[in-house]
Structure 1
Amino acid sequence: MTTHGRGRRPRPSAVVGGRATPYLYLLPALLVYGAFLLYPLLRSVQFSLYDWPGFGPSTFVGLGNYVDLLDDRKFHAAILHSLILILFYSILPLVVGLLLAAILRRGRVRGLGFFRVVIFLPQVIALVVVAISWHQIYAPNGPLNDFLRAIGLGSVARGWLGDPTFALPAVGMIGFWLMTGLTMLLLLAGMGRIPDDLYEAARLDGAGPVAEFFAITLPAVKAEIATALVLTVIAALKTFDLVYVTTSGGPGNATTVPSFEVYNRAFNLKDVGSASAVAVVLTALVFVINAGISRIGETGVRR
């Protein structure tokens, strides 16, 4: 009886098939991703090269829509407003969330699970419901102005969403309310992985709460900080629901943002080419900013 078959290498087809198996499992998700994200994105790029009202014939203009955006003050204002909203959606929630998470981590608060649910609650409420609720709060006769009058600050009361100076910060405060809970929970989860031994050793060395925070807590949650920044910056740049329901970009152009400009140009002004160009620029801006944040976050974690 011969044993010529022993020790033979598997046929190339078997090896190739084995290596391809993971990609076959990913194929359905990739098809859905391509159909509902990549294809619309490519079509938007295509539409941005044409002057098209959304129906009927179109005219190829090349990069003309992008050139027009360079001198479009309304578009410049929309970009500036989005960058300002990053302060409310991302920077302030990160600072406040970091402080709250550090206090809860150090204080060992009872009922922490309940607080987590309450703080995360804004994330599960539909943004339209949130926008309508805050629209009522900011109303001239709403709860906010009633409270200001009750404490003797009636001169401060105003129609917050109708004031060109305060409309954008008022929308930003809604974003701050939405994102602070998410940021705090992400950071609190990261702090939960820090061994208690590190804090005990620091206390034995005479370190106080502030020294513990900067020496132990902050370096340990750099990955969570990067994740929180990515999520909140994306939310700030693509915000649409809040602006559409609360101000519709007004008063004037005081609260217009790129996402609202895409809607306004496509459906109100019937300029799909320009709307698509704004959408492509916004997509590129989101990608560049978040790629930079992720890069900085990865560098910090390695160190």
Structure 2
Amino acid sequence: MRGDAGRRPAPPVRRRLVPYGFLLPAFVLYAAFMLFPIARAVQLSVYEWDGLTLGTFVGADNYLAVVTDPQLREAFVHALVLIVFFSLLPVAIGLVLAAVLNRAKVRGLPFFRTVIFLPQVVAMVVVAVAWRQIYAPDGSLNTALRAVGLDALARPWLGDYTWSLPAVGFIGTWVSMGLVTVLLLAGMSRVPAEQYEAARLDGAGAVREFFAITLPAVRGEVTVALTLTIIAALKTFDLVYVTTGGGPGTSTTVPSYEVYRRAFQLGEVGMAAAVGITLMVLIFGINLVVNRVGDRTT
């Protein structure tokens, strides 16, 4: 007891806190280029304004129109359909492709990763122009179909009311697949080889290895891939603008294209702002759910 009483108390642990002064410049930039434009868009969304004359306060009427206007509802449905092409299909294909490449240990894998990632470094406008030529009535796709005797399948893909949206979506699949595959390959390369060797000694086949070892190891990468590709699907504009311009009719309109059309062609700036804010909330909500589910499974 005497020995304990004679000891000096341990000095308190000092935690190093980051001074707010270091965060202030970053916050100022973030506020100037992100928070202020969003706040301004929210303000404009409650006005009926053509961009030139004085605006009229209409409250939530613009947001009600987003829900009740059939063309705007159709645009949001098209955006949700594009999620299948931009996100779900690339993730499914990328998982299989990355698993095969990782298991087979293909020679020249760095070169293959570079080639498959190439669509990500090409401007989307360039990609859209190239695919517009491929989909043209006399383009390479219809030429190839006629060459193998499938003339009945040839059609003006971007001018067909049924196939125009899937045709645009397939471009998104082609663009996103490289990013997803490279991302998943990076995650699979971190899995210890001993786990696969142990599974093979236990008699596990390729499919069982995939579901028992590979897929659980890359759930974080899958979540990131879903987040990035869903954002790309919902905010796509340049691809639709260059390939179809929202047509034929309104069969390929998407919310971001409606923002452009209503703000700069129809002079409905308030309505365009309301569509943009609604789209932002939708993107945030879907990705919040994806990340919550991803966090629970990792």
TM-score norm. by structure 1 comes to: 0.92
Task: Determine the structure 2 residue equivalent to 1:77.
Answer: 74
1:70 & 1:168 partners in 2: Cα distance? 22
Cα deviation code 1:197-249 (max 9, x no counterpart): 00000000000101100110011111011000000000000000000000010
Task: Determine the structure 2 residue equivalent to 1:46.
Answer: 43
Task: Determine the structure 1 residue equivalent to 2:157.
Answer: 160
Task: Determine the structure 2 residue equivalent to 1:131.
Answer: 128
Task: Determine the structure 1 residue equivalent to 2:4.
Answer: none
SS in 2 for 1:187: helix
TM-score norm. by structure 2 comes to: 0.94
Is 1:28 the equivalent of 2:13? no
State which drifts further: 31-40 or 157-166: 31-40
Cα deviation code 1:97-142 (max 9, x no counterpart): 0000000000000100000000100000001100100001100000
Task: Determine the structure 1 residue equivalent to 2:112.
Answer: 115
Cα deviation code 1:255-301 (max 9, x no counterpart): 00000000000001100010000000000000000000000000000
Match for residue 180 of structure 2 among 171, 183, 189: 183
1:38 & 1:135 partners in 2: Cα distance? 37
Is 1:297 the equivalent of 2:294? yes
How much has 1:192 moved relative to structure 2? 0.6
Unaligned stretches of 5+ in structure 1?
1-6
Task: Determine the structure 1 residue equivalent to 2:230.
Answer: 233
Task: Determine the structure 1 residue equivalent to 2:249.
Answer: 252
How many percent of aligned residue pairs carry the same amino acid?
58
1:68 & 1:122 partners in 2: Cα distance? 37
1:36 & 1:244 partners in 2: Cα distance? 25
1:167 & 1:77 partners in 2: Cα distance? 14
| Alignment-mate amino acid for residue 242 of structure 2 | V
| Alignment-mate amino acid for residue 252 of structure 2 | T
SS in 2 for 1:155: helix
1:206 & 1:84 partners in 2: Cα distance? 41
How much has 1:38 moved relative to structure 2? 1.1
How much has 1:154 moved relative to structure 2? 1.3
State which drifts further: 29-38 or 220-229: 29-38
Equivalent pairs, count: 288
How much has 1:20 moved relative to structure 2? 4.4
How much has 1:68 moved relative to structure 2? 1.7
Task: Determine the structure 2 residue equivalent to 1:197.
Answer: 194
| RMSD of aligned residue pairs (Cα, Å) | 1.6
Match for residue 211 of structure 2 among 211, 214, 222: 214
